[in-house]
Structure 1
Amino acid sequence: MGTRTRRVELTPAAAELVARLTETHGPVMFHQSGGCCDGSAPMCYPRGEFRVGAADVLLGHVADDVPFWMSADQFTYWRHTHLTVDVVPGRGSGFSLEAPEGVRFLIRSRLLTDEELARIDAEPPLPTGDETAG
């Protein structure tokens, strides 16, 4: 099978910030949960410093090789949307790598088109943390 339908991407500003964070911290990853506080915002962590749960869903990769994970509960609500990670001025969570930069990552979303949904229905299920552990 060819490449999967893209479910997540970065704006140019977010891609530039991810490149800077990767330069400073090494490989990074995103995780979006449905938790309290900034839990609904995408969080950027050094890869390997955030433990992905068995039910977390790998939506895809951004900036070539940056994995974007989402909690299974959150994915239930967002499964019919395409996500775009943007960056805006302001303070997000103290745990996300961009916090000291005076900016925060933010999700913008749109409904997937009928064509995108049809392609997704023909694709295998998205990998979970349980399947990619190790």
Structure 2
Amino acid sequence: MKVKHFRVRVSGEHLQNDQDAINQFLTGVNVEKTATNFITGMIDYWSVLVFYSPKTEKTRETSENEKVAVLNYDELTQEEKITLNSLKHWRSEKSSKLGLPQYMICHNSELMTIAKMRPDSVDELKKIKGFGENKISRYGNDIISLLHAS
């Protein structure tokens, strides 16, 4: 297992670039676990450690025991891209409400997979890479409600 450190500055001018850097990195690795800490000082930022292993080329739709991930935006249809934008808007509002960076709610790859798979229930979210019991209990009902509304 390898580890990578990120600093996510909370100032508006840097926040999106820092989040994009993390999301880009996450598309190329298998995340084993993460650790975060909010650091205050001259510049406030989130310190993020990502423990990961290199990604193998086997992702897409796999057997029932393996989780599914969509990593390429170009794989989405126009309708799925609209759903993805709705999910990103929800994530942005949720992160503002909770005071968390957006990537701590859901990674872009997770949102792309949701848009592609369109799970009908919270149980179906378990098939998506990145969704365990904690994330499902926190955000699962919101996501399913959003999908049913669109």
TM-score norm. by structure 1 comes to: 0.27
Greater per-residue strand proportion: 1
Greater per-residue helix proportion: 2
Which has more radius of gyration? Answer: 2
Structure number with higher relative contact order (C-alpha < 8 Å, ≥ 6 residues apart): 1
